[in-house]
Chains A and B, each alone.
Chain A
Amino acid sequence: MKTEKIPQQRIGVYVCHCGSNIAGMVDVDDVSQWAGKELAQDGVVISRDYKFMCSSLGQELIEKDIKEHELTRVVVGACSPHLHEATFRTACARADLNPYLCELVSIREQVSWVHTDKQAATEKSKAIIAGGVRRVVHHEPLEPLHVPIHPASLVVGGGIAGIQAALEIANAGYPVYLVEREPTIGGHMAQFDKTFPTLDCSACILTPRMVEAGNHPNITLLTYSEVEKVDGYVGNFVVSIRKRARSVKEDLCTGCGVCWEKCPKKVIDDVFEAGLGYRKAVYTPFPQAVPKYPVIDRENCTYYQKGTCKACEKFCPTGAIDFAQEDQMITVEVGNIILATGWQLFDPRRIHNYGYGRLANVFSSLEFERLSNAAGPTSGNVVLRDGKTVPKSVAIVHCVGSRDKKYNSYCSSICCMQSLKFAHLVEEKTGATVYNCYIDIRTPGKGYDEFYQRLLEEGTHFIRGKVAEITDAGRTTDEEGKIIVQVEDTLIGKQRRLPVDMVILSAGLEPQPDAKEVAKKFGISCSADGWYIERHPKLDPVATMTEGIYLAGCVQGPKDIPASVAQGAAAAARVIGKIQQKEIALEPVRATINEDQCSGCRICNDLCPFNAILFHEDRMVSEVNPALCQGCGTCVAACPAGAISGTGFSNEQILSQVEGLLMVNLSKEAAISQG
């Protein structure tokens, strides 16, 4: 019935060996011969197998056949369409065949790599090829949709990765909105004291970048702000940003600091100072904050809580304090988005036997960063929780919450180097004996292993073993008043108890607590751990599966500063490339409504989450706005009149593919071969 409508096609079938990737498990020769014979009635005029279809020779083979055999459709059985669909479409286009008349079906990811029975794998490959052939008959020549790219970009997260990305784009001459949740940009790097392995002062290398980003004419800094909503698609995102009320007028504030000097309310700073120090209710997180304007923390401000005080307002020389200020909703249009929302520290309280939160002198890694930072609460003196005693012995515990099936099975990648840095700083500042309790030392970066060698020479003790317990229950007089680290030294095969004054837990990196919600907001996916998934783990670690959304820094997985900076710059390069193309070609997968068949029931109207379907009251028919339609096809499946067709995924295409897939029946084939 259907075949009557459609003129007989001339189809070419190409079965890829992929070296031995496919040919090792699938009898490719059998598959291609079978397709040439059994699918001839479906229009297959030529069927070949070739070692590497994606190679230029493989592509030329298709191009030559299209011309010589006047092919009107092409089916390639190879890898996942997510890898090489574009390759084969382009090959068809070179031979003047509309690229959308080519179908790539996966016999590698879905067959040869996952099955162990060669016969079954071969039969399944035949079925998949048959499905592709039946489907491709109903393909239509299509033209990609060209949409303009808005030249502005959005960078979410003002840590070093986000700053780098924003600066690169801004320096290329395009506008950037840099959104940061905290009152200042800088991220975690601003908290650190030194950076490994060079021991550069972290603030000294970061703050110039912060200032540059803050002053750049192309960068609109939106701190103390969060993205609320993302609409649109690549090239034309519309982003709603909530700029929370600072209670300070930015146009009047000079950043003189009188307000926080006069503010009577002290608050424990558990963000920037990691709970070790205090800030005021009106504050900037640190002196070099960008922008310089303070914020009033309304939850802790005496005026907001009790109605009286206003000390800051009284003393502000420019009258910049504005208690009535309200959150502002800002809507921006951008073409591309870079997510650089970073990480949070693993909470060591979760490992109860390590005593963090219970034993005063067990510190987390971020606490130690603040402790040893010259701008920190102790002015850089490494002292115990009492604020004065200098430790004589310190144990550093690696892999806290990392490489542990109970918490996170991944390696946080920075903790080894960070622990070595801590060991060096403790020795340098206090002369204390330092023990590093590690599982494995991982120093794969440039200059990293040299730093490890240096530490070995400096006399730091390295104990290979996972710490079992950290306790204050001493057994001997030596252990009295100390913290005891119980660890098995696997290199000498003995249990050891190390009585120390201070323990630093080198806690791992975790995704931000709201990573999943943010991912949902931007329409990208998270791994099981919560890190965002890149388009390809090897060849595209910067883009995501959602066009126009890129990743930079730890949001994609734990990484150190150089890697974050590199990824920030890489994401920016991709965005700049896109902007310079001025327009982008989108897959023409869209729904269209046949007005003659539409009964005007409006069932589809409410199904569309993008409001792409509008209803014409005068003609009583619905219509799809192709600019808003994302091509999910839900309306196509729902239309009771069958009036909506989905380009590229029409009912004919899918139903024919079902038929094709069932041409080869496993049990029957098996029975025949058995017989």
Chain B
Amino acid sequence: MNEETKPFEPTIIGFTCNWCSYRAADMAGTARMKYSPNVRLIRLMCSGRFDPTFAFQAFANGADGVLVSGCHPGDCHYINQNYKMLRRFHLMKRVLKQMGIEPGRIKLLWASAAEGAIFADEINKFVEQVRELGPLNWKENIIAIEQPMLEEVAV
């Protein structure tokens, strides 16, 4: 198999909350539900802890996609903090778009502790979606665009 035919393997960083989505990942594991190995998870206590800086850091360090996952709306362990993440998520989506990062590279996933199958399934879909988009190459693509923009602002 040569380089041409080998599919692009995206690297995705996922942020999960401790109570629902991380548990969904645990459940997918316990039930041996198979999914793509492209997603690497970070556990937060709550999706409300998600700071868009984390996504920027991930993209800047070579991630091709970012997944943010929390409890279903209304099911948050901390009452309603996932709604607060939701606001940031949409704002972040706009900012990333302005930077030239396709909105398809970030995904929001609600998963309850019982939804291991949904979690695995959605990860597979997201990996395929990012695979379609191809490598992000932040350093080559994004930084290069960013410089003239910064100069414009300065002028």
Give the distance to chain A from B142, nearest Cβ to Cβ, in Å: 15
| Other-chain residue from B9, B38, B54 in contact with A658 (beta carbon distance below 8 A) | B54
Chain A to chain B: the 4 pairs with minimum beta-carbon distance, closest first: A109-B29, A633-B49, A634-B48, A632-B46
Interface check B108, CB cutoff 8 A: no
Docked Cα-Cα span, A239 to B48, in Å, equals 26
Contact residue among B48, B63, B112 (Cβ-Cβ distance under 8 Å from A633): B48
Enumerate B85-106 residues with CB–CB distance to A below 8 Å: 85, 88
Q: Is the CB of A124 within 8 A of B48?
A: no
**How would residues 1 to 24 of chain B score, 1 for a CB under 8 Å from any chain A CB and 0 otherwise?**
101001011110100000110110
B133 at the interface (CB under 8 A from A): no
Contact indicator A634/B49 (Cβ below 8 Å): yes
Please tell me if the beta carbons of B34 and A115 are within 8 angstroms of each other in the complex. yes
Which residues of B are found within 8 Å of A113, using beta-carbon distances? Answer: 29-30, 32
Cβ-neighbour of A649 out of B9, B20, B44, B115 (below 8 A) = B44
Contact mask B36-47 → A, CB, 8 Å, 1/0?
A: 111011111110
A525 near B75: Cβ-Cβ < 8 Å: yes
- Contact (Cβ within 8 A) B29 A666: no
**Bound CA–CA A114/B28 (angstroms):** 7
User: Complex: how many Å from CA A589 to CA B44?
Assistant: 11
Q: Are B9 and A666 in contact (CB under 8 A)?
A: yes
Please tell me the number of chain A residues within 8 Å of chain B, measured between CB atoms: 58
Given A527-B114, A670-B9, output 17 extra A-B contacts at Cβ < 8 Å.
Answer: A113-B29, A114-B37, A525-B113, A533-B113, A546-B77, A630-B78, A632-B45, A632-B78, A637-B88, A646-B49, A651-B51, A654-B44, A657-B42, A658-B13, A658-B58, A662-B62, A674-B1
Question: Closest Cβ of chain B: how far from A549's Cβ, in Å?
Answer: 12
Most buried by B among A106, A113, A528, A633: A633
Tell me if A74 counts as interface (CB < 8 A to partner B): no
Please, how many angstroms separate the alpha-carbon atoms of A649 and B17 in the complex?
12
Q: Do residues A658 and B42 form an inter-chain contact, with CB atoms below 8 A?
A: yes
Which residues in A have their C-beta under 8 angstroms from that of B81? 607, 609, 632, 634
Q: For the complex, is B26 an interface residue (Cβ under 8 Å from A)?
A: yes
Chain B CB within 8 A of A302 CB: no
Contact check, B29 vs A80: say whether CB atoms are below 8 A apart: yes
Once the chains are docked, how many angstroms separate the CA of A532 from the CA of B9? Answer: 38
> A655-670: which residues lie under 8 A (CB-CB) from chain B?
655, 657-659, 661-662, 665-667, 670
Find chain A residues with CB under 8 A from B43 CB. 81
Summarize B's interface: helix, strand, loop or mixed. Answer: loop
Answer whether residue B57 sits at the interface, using C-beta atoms and an 8 A cutoff.
yes
Q: Is the CB of B114 within 8 A of A662?
A: no
Do A661 and B49 touch (CB < 8 A)? no
How far in angstroms is the closest Cβ of chain B from A158? 27
| A131 adjacent to chain B (CB < 8 Å) | yes
**Contacting pair B42 A654 (CB below 8 A):** yes
Q: Which residues of B contact A666 (CB under 8 A)?
A: 9-11, 37-38
Q: Judging by beta carbons under 8 Å apart, are B23 and A545 in contact?
A: yes
Is A267's beta carbon under 8 Å from chain B? no
Q: Is the CB of A654 within 8 A of B37?
A: no
**Interface digits, A612-647 against B, CB 8 Å rule (1 contact, 0 not)?**
000000000000000000111110111000000010
The verdict on B125 contacting chain A, using a C-beta distance below 8 Å, is no
Contact between A661 and B25, CB atoms less than 8 A apart: no
Q: List 30 A-B contacts (CB under 8 A).
A: A82-B22, A82-B26, A109-B28, A110-B29, A114-B32, A117-B37, A120-B37, A525-B112, A528-B112, A533-B114, A589-B45, A609-B81, A610-B78, A610-B79, A632-B46, A632-B49, A633-B44, A633-B45, A634-B78, A651-B53, A654-B42, A658-B63, A659-B57, A661-B13, A661-B42, A665-B11, A666-B9, A666-B38, A667-B135, A674-B1
Given the interface pairs A111-B37, A131-B42, A658-B42, the reply to whether A638 lies near B13 with Cβ below 8 Å is no
User: Smallest CB-CB separation from A135: which chain B residue?
Assistant: B42
User: Is the C-beta of B33 less than 8 angstroms from some C-beta in chain A?
Assistant: yes
Assembly CA distance A667 to B40 (angstroms): 14
Residues of A contacting B58 with CB < 8 Å?
Answer: 658, 662
Distance, CA A192 to CA B68, complexed state (A): 49
Whole-angstrom CA separation of A533 from B71 in the bound complex: 14
Whether a CB of chain A sits under 8 angstroms from the CB of B50 is: yes
Cβ of A121 within 8 Å of any chain B Cβ, yes or no, is yes
Given A109-B29, A651-B51, A658-B57, A633 and B46 touching (CB < 8 A)? yes
Q: Tell whether, in the assembled complex, residue B62 and residue A665 are in contact, meaning their CB atoms are under 8 Å apart.
A: yes
Q: Which residues of B contact A670 (CB under 8 A)?
A: 6, 9
- CB B137 to nearest CB in A, in angstroms, measures 11
Residues of A within 8 A of B112 (CB): 525-526, 528
Cα of A652 to Cα of B9 in the assembled complex, Å: 28
CB distance from A638 to the nearest CB of B (A): 7
Residue from A127, A526, A609 having most chain B Cβ neighbours under 10 A: A609
Contact A655 B3 (CB under 8 A): no
Q: Does residue A292 face the partner (Cβ distance < 8 Å to B)?
A: no
A423 within 8 A of B: no
Chain B residues with Cβ under 8 A from A81's Cβ? 43
Identify which of residues 480-537 in chain A touch chain B, using a CB-to-CB cut-off of 8 Å.
520, 523, 525-528, 533
Q: Give complex CA distance A492, B14 in Å.
A: 55
Interface string of A111-153 (1 = CB under 8 A from B): 1011111001101100110010000000000000000000000
